[in-house]
A and B are shown apart, each in its own frame.
Chain A
Amino acid sequence: MAYRYLEDFAIADIAFEATGRDLKELFSSAADATMNVMVENLDTIEEREERDIKLRSGEPDMLLFDLLQEVIYYKDAEQLLLRIKNMTITRLAGAYVLRAVGTGERLDPLRHEQRADVKAVTLHHFKVEKTGGLWKALVILDV
C-alpha cells in the first residue's frame, strides 16, 4: 500500500501522505494508513466480520474524510478493526458515491499490537489532488 508518515509535520498528531493510480486505490491506502496508526501490523487483522459502507459527497476530499471517519467510528462503536475492500466510486447527479465493504475483526490485544488511538480526521491541510496521473492525499489525524 502506498502511504508514508511525515516526520517533521504535525508534531503532536500523525500526518501521512497516501497515493494511488485512481481514487479507489488512494482511498484504500489512506484507510490502511489510518488503521496502521492504531495497529502495528495490518496483516494480523483477520477477515472475520464485514460492514457495508455507503457514502456520498459532492467533493472527493470530503468523501475520503467520511471514509476515514467510518474506520474510526467502527473502532470505537464496535471495537472493530476494518480494512476497506471491494470499493466502487461512481458519479451520480453531480456527487461522488462510494460503496465498499469494511472487513476485519474485533480488537484482540493479544494478537493486535497497538499503537495510538485515532480520535479524528482533521481538515488542517487536508487535501486530495491529482498530479501527473497520480492521486495524492495529505491527511493529519488527531491522536
Chain B
Amino acid sequence: MRVLEFLIHQPYYNSRERKEIVAIPGALGRISEVVWELPVSYKQGMRVPARIYGTEKLIGEMDDAVYDQVTNVATLPGIVAHALCMPDGHFGYGFPIGGVAAMDVEQGGVISPGGIGFDINCGMRLVRTNLSYDEVQPRIREVTDRLFAAVPAGVGSTGFLKLSKQEFRKVAEEGARWCVERGYGWNEDLELTEDNGCTPGADASTVSDRAVDRGFNQIGTLGSGNHYLEIQVVHEANIFDRDLAQAFGLSDGQVVVMYHCGSRGFGHQVATDYLRLFLQVMESKYGIRILDRELACAPFDSPEGKDYFAAMKCALNMSFANRQMILHRLREVFSDVFGRPAEKLGIHMVYDIAHNTAKLERHFVDGREKTLLVHRKGATRAFGPGAAGLPERYRKIGQPVIIGGSMETGSYLLVGTEGGKETFFSTPHGSGRTMSRTKARKQWHGKDLQRQMEERGIYVRTASWSGLAEEAGGAYKNIDEVVAASDLAGISRRVVRLVPIGNIKG
C-alpha cells in the first residue's frame, strides 16, 4: 500500500474543537487506482475508516478540509463500512460535499441534517426534446430570455403559483404528484422522477410555520449560487455508450435541458429547525458527542429523529414539486417559441434525482443485508441494473445519473452500475469547487464573462453579475476528471457528455 503524507492544517479550529481531535499524522493509504483510505487510527473516535474516491490528480488538489470532515463523519453512531467522499468532494459543513454515510438504524444509527445539507433535495432534472441544435441555435437568445422570465431566479425569488399556506402543506406531502394532478405536467413525469415525485411518509405536521412562510411562494423558482437551468446539446463525439444513450432517448445533435435547484427557503428552514433541536437533545438526552456542531444528530429511532425524517421528506417533496413546476414553464416557453405543443416537441423527462438526501435502503454489509439510512450530501444515488425503485423502462439498464458541470464546461449523463454497491450505490453530483466564491468574484467579472461565453457559443442570463463571476468554470474542478474517476472506480459509467449553449444563472 502506497502512503502519501498530508499536512493537516486546521487554521480556524477553535480551542474547544481542537481538544477533541487527537493530532495523529495524516496518512492516506491507496486502496486502488482511484480509492484512498484513512484508517480508524487517524482520529480518535472513528468507528470506521474513511474512503475518498479520486484520481491522483484530484486527490492531490483536494481541499484539506475534506479529510477532516470525512473523518468526523466516521465518528457518528451507527455508521457502517466506510465514511465516503466522492471524487467531486470539497469543503462542506459537517459532512464534506460529496459525502456519503450509511447508518444502521437498528444499531442506534443517527440521522444528521449536516449529512443532507440545508438545501434538502437539491437535485437535477434532465429533459429531452426532439429539437436539433440547428433549429435551436438561431433562436437561443429568444428561448433563453423567455426561460429567464418564466423561471424566476435570484435572492428570495418567488414563483407564479399563488398558494395558501395550508395548500402548500399539501404540496409538501404530495410532491410533484400535486402538480401533475392539477395539470402542471404529465403522468409520465412522475414515473421518471425519483420516488415517483412523492416520497412516502412526509408529514407536514412536523414542519414549522416559519419553514412554510419561507417556501410557500417559492415553487417554480431556481434560487441562486450554483443553481441553474441550461440548454445543452448532444454531440456525436460526446456519446460514450450509444446503446445506453439511445435507451435514455438521446442522440447526436439533439437539444436537451438540464436544471439544478432544490427545496428553496422551505428546506433550508426545515434543516435549520432540526439542527437547533438536535443540538438541544443530542448530548443531554442521547449521550451523543460530536466533533463539529454542524454534525448535530439524533438516533434515527428517536422521536426527534423520526420527526426530522418526516419533515425532511416534506422538503424532498417540495423540491420535486419545484422542479415539476419549472418543467411546466419550460414546456410553455418552448411551445410558444417553436410554435408547436410540448408533445410535438418531444419534451420528455430523462430523469429527476436528488443529491442532498437521506434514504432508508437495503444494502449488504459484510455479507448481511441490512436496512440502512444512507446520507448523501452532494452525492447522487446510482442504482445499478435490476434495482427495485427504478422506472420500469430503466430497470434492465440502470439508473440515469445526472452530473451538473460548471456553466462553461459541460455536464454528464451517467448510468448506475453493479459496482456501485461499494459506495451504497452513490456517485458524484457535479464538478466540485476548487476556488472560494470570494476569490472567484475578484478574479472574474460577470459582464466580461458573459461576453466571453457568448463568443464561445454559450448565451447566459443571470440575476447577479457577481454571482455569475463566482460560477466561472475556472473555480471548479475538471468535470471530465471527476467522471473518469467514477468510471474507473466502477461506481457509475459515462453515457453522454452534454455541452451548454444557453444558461440561466440564479
Contacts and interface: CB of A to CB of B under 8 A. Distances in A.
Interface of A: 5-15, 38-40, 69, 72-73, 75-77, 79, 107, 109, 113-117, 119-127, 129, 138, 140, 142-143
**10 cross-chain pairs, A with B, having the tightest CB-CB distances, nearest first:** A76-B265, A124-B93, A76-B214, A122-B93, A123-B293, A77-B213, A117-B224, A120-B118, A124-B294, A119-B268
Nearest to B475: A11
B91 interface: yes
Contacts, number: 146
B213 A73 contact: yes
Q: Quick one: which of B119, B155, B435, B467 has the most chain A CB within 10 A?
A: B155
13 contacts: A6-B436, A11-B435, A12-B92, A73-B210, A76-B213, A77-B265, A79-B158, A114-B224, A116-B225, A119-B118, A119-B265, A142-B93, A142-B119
Contact of B94 (A14, A77, A117, A124): A124
A8 B434 CA distance: 10
Contacts of A117: 154-157, 223-225, 506
Contact of B214 (A9, A13, A77, A143): A77
A59 B437 CA distance: 30
B93 A116 contact: no
Interface of B: 11-14, 17, 63, 90-94, 97, 114, 117-119, 154-158, 210, 213-215, 218, 223-226, 264-265, 268-269, 271-272, 275, 279, 292-294, 296, 433-439, 442, 463-467, 470, 506
B266 to A, nearest CB: 8
A143 B223 CA distance: 10
B14 A114 contact: no
Contacts of B275: 123
Chain A contact residues, majority secondary structure:
loop
A7 B292 contact: no
Contact of A116 (B118, B435, B470): B470
B294 A122 contact: yes
A72 to B, nearest CB: 8
Contacts of B465: 113
B445 to A, nearest CB: 13
A9 B225 contact: no
A6 B438 contact: yes
A120 B506 contact: no
A8 B442 CA distance: 13
A120 B155 contact: no
Given A72-B265, A116-B464, A116-B466, 5 more contacts: A12-B433, A76-B218, A115-B464, A120-B269, A124-B93
A15 B92 CA distance: 12
B405 to A, nearest CB: 15
Given A10-B91, A123-B294, A126-B293, A143 B225 contact: yes
Q: Quick one: which of B223, B225, B226, B275 has the most chain A CB within 10 A?
A: B225
B14 A7 contact: no
Nearest to B466: A115
A140 B269 CA distance: 16
Contact of B436 (A9, A38, A138): A9
A12 B156 contact: no
Contacts of B119: 119, 142
B439 A7 contact: yes
A9 B14 contact: no
B463 A114 contact: yes
Given A107-B155, A114-B224, A123-B93, A7 B438 contact: yes
B463 A76 contact: no
B271 A143 contact: no
B463 A138 contact: no
Given A7-B436, A13-B93, A124 B292 contact: yes
A14 B438 contact: yes
Q: Quick one: which of A40, A72, A73, A116 has the most chain B CB within 10 A?
A: A116
Nearest to B95: A124
A11 B464 CA distance: 19
A90 B375 CA distance: 40
Contact of B467 (A76, A114, A121, A138): A114
